[in-house]
Structure 1
């Protein structure tokens, strides 16, 4: 049973369009079980939600060793769920609060992997606009509270006070989650600016073997500017080139270029204007076991064995993280993995960014749905900050997202091309930009209150009805 419930919940998160069904599997997940129940529910959830990992790495590296990280990651994430379920056994409200807190904790530290947040179930719903108030954590809390409301007040179906019946409470919750468009007005834009986003579709393993992508990006940019001469800003993806090709600056003229630049020691994004680099930003949140190697001194033999099994030779070398979140002038540039950290885009906007620019290289996901899942999570950063998002991916998803979280322009994945569109520079600050992750504090308070509250006599119904978990 718990395994199936976890699978059902996973099928409600991106890239699935079934997010509106998320409260249904959450009803029993909030009511039942302890550590063992939560662990097996987590195995079902993470086994499906992260199945892109073996699907992509086995194909990309052409070896079954590519599936090795999948098992330990699923088990570790499932154990975290088990801990939450064990602490909140028989206390659904406590489980609601602790669930959101554990989501937040997974975004911290050297092993940060903030995947699987319940709030992303609303990414296709108008209610995603609530993220302007409290980020994805407020959305997670909202989804959980709708399920908790149905669970808690369901026994009052025939209560005299109709306002507190399950249907009424569920209707109010759903209205809040779906009607978020009108809870915060959008700032007025001064005017639209043309943009050209370039998608090179370069196999990342070919680049490691020495393939140069400069001519590819130069030619695609030339074709793109010919088709969209109104573009004033050109965006290339993460680590697009190691150096800029001859003839690029004359092609750009007075246009600006925002591009990933392979430096060897840092994952860098730069702004080029007037034929020279004016600003640069180095990626701060590095991918664990890909760009950074925790406990490398102790685990160096294991790292070497695994990397050689994947076909990599040479010494273990990670990237150097950046030293802060500094916009490239008006542009809040961030890189790939950083798009799943709400705090990154928030800090860039707090430092003055008027538009978000994301460079990514999702070709590492191979033919799996991982790249699309990554995109769906990252597009919520536009809503949280009230900014346009220009997203250039090596093999996609290359798209333009407006401050309402709507995808206004997009081109197909896994083929070279370019995208012409427009955006606006915006000022102001949403409540989330001003106040940050206050919803996590609220969730923590609910968790504490739920743990301290005396369990009612009726609260034992779960043990009597369902038996021991």
Structure 2
């Protein structure tokens, strides 16, 4: 059957479809078994191809992955910036096609250097390294990381130990082991060994789910989360300013007494000194020992640019300026060349500069909070570093940019995975959903539906201690994967050299 797909249109088409189906492994579909089988299919589709043929097939696979799983960027380009449909489609296509080049690179590396090595070792290692590259290149796009699909599977126990990239390795390896178990050309002992390793990974994950990496710290705290549901087109309209302020004040009063009030990213269209009286006013019904944390726009130290920030009032202390900025949304690459060409390159508040303090913490009563603003929660190692010496995570966002697409649902899934990796509870507060309280195992305690103006009041139990992943990060795994590949290449070199020597 594989011969049919070699350098044929059928093979290229199948690669496109296989890549597109990978999005089914993530929210909201959560068909996690797909994360086993699609990497195996991609590997099979690269068999017996030349490097040039593999580049095209890999690119088509990547086109399917990001075309189905990340084309939600179209919503922000077209619906919220007024960009004409044709230009919005073109920009979305460029974004997806550019990301697909990383899978083309993966396919080329495999066929050029690794296709004669042991795929049980080399293929998972290469997949992890390519995800690492994608998470770093051009500020990174750590979206659709394969391990995220295992948030609620028996493998989830590995997350605090190895992080999401470790789950990616286990997922790809598990798929390859299943394939090996059903491969008739292998001996019984090889199939038995593959099955045993698969069961070991599975049971190891189940066992680790019971492991408590952190412990309760103090008493539960009562949080009041405010989901303002402000339309994106109204956000920066001067005529809507008073309405937005009153909306947040009235919703905060409804919550009554709480330990902490939390408002979402850029909640008020005001600078901190302008917002301060309203932040203090919002605490009127919350109790004398209450604090408030809110997303606001602030001026940078140079007073020439803006920063995406968190500011506090009452018993909450400190502030934080977002470090991981979103290209085109919060800063414009090649600004001198692009600014003014189309409306999308002139989005409101698209001239941010990053903060510098990392890890940074906020004080909320007697607890330390790890702040993550919007896109930052997608970065596993960044989030783990923020979480050190804190008792709970806070992420604020404004997912109104992505409407009713898959984007906000995938974003929420990643936020839950950060709670699982760090074994810390999380409060997630967004403008229009999904606002939620999440426990230290990534499970949802309470949440609000999307696209409603509402509040959520509930308790969160702070926790103390560090997971192995927090202490090591992903770098050791990346180095290990690189060493595995070099080891496989060395074994292949020795094998090839012996053959040549025997022939001579």
TM-score category of the 2 structures, normalised to the smaller one: 0.7 to 0.9
Aligned mates of 1:186, 1:157 — CA distance in 2 = 47
Shift in alpha-carbon separation, 1:138–1:317, aligned structure 2, 3 A: closer
Q: What does residue 9 of structure 1 align with?
A: 22
Tell me the CA shift for residue 333 of structure 1: 1.3
Aligned to 1:78: 100
CA distance in 2, matches of 1:217, 1:136: 36
Counterpart for residue 195 of structure 1: 223
Which residue among 338, 362, 365 is the counterpart of 1:328? 362
2:341 to 305, 311, 315: 305
Aligned to 2:397: 360
| Alpha-carbon contact 1:286-1:292 (below 8 Å) kept | yes
Asked if structure 1 preserves the Cα contact closer than 8 Å seen for 2:373 and 2:396, the reply is yes
Conserved? CA contact 1:94–1:451, under 8 Å? no
CA contact (8 A) 2:436 2:448 kept: yes
Map 1:85-164 onto structure 2 (within 5 A): 85-89=107-111, 90=115, 91=117, 92=119, 93-152=121-180, 154-155=182-183, 159-161=187-189, 164=192
Whether 1:19 aligns to 2:32 is yes
Cα distance in 1 for partners of 2:56, 2:395 equals: 40
Checking the alignment, whether the CA contact within 8 Å between 2:18 and 2:64 is kept in structure 1 is yes
* Counterpart among 238, 249, 256 of residue 218 in structure 1: 249
* 1:162 CA drift (Å): 7.4
> What is the aligned partner in structure 1 of residue 5 from structure 2?
none
- Where relative contact order (Cα < 8 A, 6+ residues apart) is larger, the structure is 1
Residue 264 (structure 2) aligns with: 237
Q: Which moved more, 1:77-86 or 1:10-19?
A: 10-19
Matched, 1:279 2:292: no
Change in CA separation of 1:71 and 1:128 when aligned onto 2, cut-off 3 Å = same
CA distance in 1, matches of 2:376, 2:137: 14
Greater C-alpha Rg: 2
Equivalent position of 1:39 in the other structure: 59
Cα displacement (A) at 1:55: 4.2
Indicate the SS of the match to 1:150. helix
Unaligned runs of 5+ in 1: 458-469
Q: Determine the C-alpha separation between the residues in 2 that align with 1:157 and 1:270.
A: 63
The 2-side partners of 1:2 and 1:131 are apart by 29
Residue by residue over 1:154-190, the C-alpha shift from the partner in whole angstroms, topping out at 9 and shown as x without a partner, is 4468734377355444333333345540345442343
- 1:373-420 alpha-carbon deviations (Å, 9 max, x no partner): 111112111111111100000001100111111011101011110111
Give 1:207 deviation, angstroms: 1.6
1:440 CA drift (Å): 2.0
User: 1:465 matched to which residue of 2?
Assistant: none
Where does residue 9 of structure 2 map in the other structure? none
DSSP 3-state at the match of 2:215: coil
How many pairs were matched up? 444
Could you tell me whether the CA contact under 8 Å between 1:258 and 1:270 is conserved in 2? yes
Taking a change above 3 Å as real, the CA distance of residues 118 and 311 of structure 1, as seen in their structure-2 partners, is closer
Residues 30 and 453 (structure 1 numbering): CA distance in 2 closer, same or farther, change over 3 Å? farther
Q: Does the 8 A contact of 1:20 with 1:122 survive in 2?
A: no
Q: Distance in 1 between matches of 2:435 and 2:473?
A: 28
Q: Is the 8 A contact 2:226 2:252 kept in 1?
A: yes
Distance in 2, matches of 1:32 and 1:311, equals 39
Which consecutive unaligned segments of at least 5 residues does structure 2 have? Answer: 1-13, 47-53, 300-305, 496-504
| Corresponding residue of 2:209 | 181
TM-score (norm 2): 0.82
Q: 1:396 to 1:101 in 2, by over 3 A?
A: same
> SS of the counterpart of 2:135?
coil
CA deviation after TM superposition for structure 1 residue 125, in Å: 1.9
